[in-house]
Amino acid sequence: MSKISIEPLNDVPENLASLLLEADPSKKIVNGYLARADKFVVNLNEQQIGIICLIETRPETIEIVNIAILKKQRNQGIGGQLLQFAIDWAKKQKYHIIEIGTGSTSFAQLYLYQKYGFRPIYIDRDFFIKNYSQEIIENGLVLKDMIRLRQYL
User: Which residues contact ligand ACO by CB under 6 A?
Assistant: 22-23, 64-69, 74-80, 100-102, 107-109, 111-112, 115
3-state secondary structure of 152: strand
Residue 26 vs 153, nearer CB to ligand ACO: 26
Residue 28 vs 115, nearer CB to ligand ACO: 115
Report which DSSP code applies to 72: G
The span from the CA of 151 to the CA of 83, in Å, is 12
The span from the CA of 106 to the CA of 108, in Å, is 6
3-state secondary structure of 71: helix
Residue 23 vs 143, nearer CB to ligand ACO: 23
CB of 63 to ligand ACO, least distance (A): 8
CB of 79 to ligand ACO, least distance (A): 2
CB of 99 to ligand ACO, least distance (A): 9
Nearest position to ligand ACO, beta carbon: 79
Residue 33 vs 153, nearer CB to ligand ACO: 33
CB of 84 to ligand ACO, least distance (A): 9
- CA torsion sign, 99 to 100 to 104 to 106? negative
Burial class (CB in 10 A: 0-12, 13-18, 19+), 124: middle
